Amino acid sequence: MFISRALGRVASSTFRLQANPLAAQAARSARTYATAASAGQIRSVIGAVVDVQFEQDNLPAILNALEVKDHSGGRLVLEVSQHLGENTVRTIAMDGTEGLVRGQKVVDTGAPITIPVGKEVLGRIINVIGEPIDERGPIDAKTHRPIHAEAPEFVDQSPTPEILETGIKVVDLLAPYARGGKIGLFGGAGVGKTVLIQELINNIAKAHGGYSIFCGVGERTREGNDLYHEMIETGVIQLEGESKCALVFGQMNEPPGARARVALTGLTIAEYFRDDEGQDVLLFIDNIFRFTQAGSEVSALLGRIPSAVGYQPTLSTDMGGMQERITTTKNGSITSVQAVYVPADDLTDPAPATTFAHLDATTVLSRSIAELGIYPAVDPLDSKSRILDPRIVGDEHYKVATEVQQILQNYKSLQDIIAILGMDELSEEDKLVVERARKIQRFLSQPFAVAQVFTGYEGRLVKLADTIRSFQEILGGKHDNLPESAFYMQGDINDVQKRAEELAKEMGSQ
């Protein structure tokens, strides 16, 4: 519905009238850009790549935004990527290039792509160039910012480790998230990354007083549409009142230029709230792999020689340039949750491997756990967090988490013996380890509010203190008498006990 290019163009005619404090706003960025507007002509169009020729000594700077005049499809922005010589620049289009012809006039805006920021964008859906695509009229923003900026200086950063409660047991216990940190959700296709991100929005964004930015990068339009309407229903977005969330989309159907830049558009809005309004901002990105993938497409279009597995040679630079801007400063913080698609479930692929280096916590979603029907399909042994440290989370939390991981690891090492010889050949001690580990494995499942319509289970949000107490009791053997099935898809240990009583009644009545 709302991501279609045609609808975006309807709104663009109004937006064009007010979107030109560009050159004035360029000074806000740490970089320096050409400010004198100059005109050029299109020399060639090859897919998303457009070559534009300018007059002598009047070339636009790299990363400057150019606008095509009299384009039948509405406002078309081109971003300068290379200077080719003979006063010609090579640009990447932020929208489809259908209808462009050689000789068509192009104007340099004198600044990078500049978007509206501030409270006016809350509750709205915008595209990569800051145009509204929700059919609710233009965005009358007082402030505009370029999407390219430098990361904060080291002296301005303020890393204070503090746990961010999500209400999801497996995350809070074994790989807790840091407030103001960067969190990655890793997984192959269809293991539940988007559902987990939506549950985090549901749990954190609602309980969290600040603003949230959701950035859809190269993912399904249908999911973005569902999320928007769900946010309206739950009151996160209020069509008439004051909303707490802004949505930025560059979906699967967009050209690679838009998908490579839309994450920076969302990040620029988050930076404004952090730096100018002193807010603690939540930034959700789904999916960061598509940012890398789009960069790879753009790199190939520009004729660069690819590096390992066909990715762009500038993979680390592109990723670092964006990730370093997501940080906590003395003014405020950006807590980022990023879904990371893992191609063919291979965590050594350069795209997810490069992302790993920037994260404070990694939540790895496993296909083998999803096949057991345990959701969220978080791998408790592969998921890691920098703040799972007794000095940050406390001795009790750390002790319970390490004991849970230890018993699950012991169970994993016994699985081969069980497969060959069966349970009867194990010692009594090992049998107890297996029984408790299987209960813990099932107890790590949890019903999600956003998946309630599919699972039939009512969503449960569990406090960290209840999570620690529940696992402590299972490890201590307090619930050895309860059946395994009672632990599946429950909230805290009290829910397990109620479920066990229900099962006992059902058995008694038969």
Measured distance CA(441)–CA(461) in Å, rounded = 18
Structure tokens belonging to residue 263: 């994450």
- Contact of 11 with 132, CB cutoff 8 Å: yes
Cα dihedral 170, 176, 180, 181 sign = negative
**If we measure between CA atoms, which residue out of 127, 122, 116 comes closest to residue 22?**
116
- Contacts of residue 204, defined as CB under 8 A and 6 or more positions apart, other chains included, come to 164, 166, 282
250 has which bridge partners? 217
- Contact of 40 with 106, CB cutoff 8 Å: yes
Give the residue numbers annotated as catalytic, written as ranges: 193, 219-220
- Contacts of residue 235, defined as CB under 8 A and 6 or more positions apart, other chains included, come to none
**If we measure between CA atoms, which residue out of 453, 318, 354, 474 comes closest to residue 407?**
474
End-to-end CA distance of the chain: 52
Measured distance CA(472)–CA(479) in Å, rounded = 10
Around 293, how many Cα atoms within 13 Å sit in the side-chain half-sphere?
19
- For the stretch 174-201, what's the b/e string if a residue is b when 16 or more beta carbons lie within 10 angstroms of its beta carbon? bbbbbbbbbbbbbbbeebbbbbbbbbbb
* Count of helix runs (H) and strand runs (E) in the chain: 17, 18
Cα 418 to the chain's mean position, in Å?
40
